[in-house]
Structures are given as C-alpha cells and as structure tokens.
Amino acid sequence: MSAESADVVKVIVELHLDFSEESDNALRVAFSVAEELLDKYNIWVEIIPVHLWFTDPIEQDAVDLPKIYINGKLRFIGRSPSKKELIEAIREHINIPPRRASTWEITFTKTFDGGLPQIAET
C-alpha cells in the first residue's frame, strides 16, 4: 500500500433513482463531482446507483425521486443538486468545513398504511 492511498478519504454516495431526466442529471452530477473530488481533494467517492421500478404511477409520484444519501444520511430529496451543493454536502459530511453551513437537516419518513410520505425539518 502506497503512502498516497493511505491519505485517501472514502465517501459512499447512494442515489435512489427513477428513469426521469432529473434522476439522469443527478447521476451525471454525482460522477462529475466524484472525479473532481478525487483530483482536487483526494476524496474517493463511491457511487451506488439504485434504480427503483414502480408499477403504480401514484406510488412513483409519492416516493419523490431522486434521493441522494451520503454515507447513509439522506441529503437531497426530489431534485438533482447542483455540482456546488453536492460538493459542499460531501465535504461537510467528512468534517471538512464547507463554504456555507446549514443548521438543519432533512429527515424522511414513510408511512406504510397507504399514506403519503412526510418530510420533517429538524
């Protein structure tokens, strides 16, 4: 193992996607950010795309995709983040100070009794 590989910070970004343009854009942004973070900051970003299939269009609308998780923490719901937003979220998660810190986080809970998903800010 070389000295360079020991200094690499690893981050897992999991994307829950459907087959919309918004999900396609989220995946493209994630790969672009992963390449940039490895080149500039020596941060290895592992991208795990998960495509979800739905047979009911109402269920598909209720799930609100794409969703982006960074090391298991849900960070973006229902939209593709900009390149800058995703870089800041990843850097914030690995304790590298972002340019702009936020004081709230988004928590997603799903009701299983046929109700709609609920989003709460904490």
Q: What's the mean pLDDT when you consider all of the chain?
A: 78
CA angle 32, 39, 22 (to 5 degrees): 10
Q: Lowest-confidence range among 66-70, 103-107, 116-120?
A: 103-107
Q: In order of start, what are the domains of the chain with their CATH numbers? A: 3-121 (3.40.30.10)
Higher pLDDT, 116 or 64: 64
Higher pLDDT, 75 or 109: 75
**pLDDT tens digits, 17-63:** 988 899 999 999 999 999 999 999 899 999 999 988 877 777 777 78
Token pair in block for residue 56: 């009911």
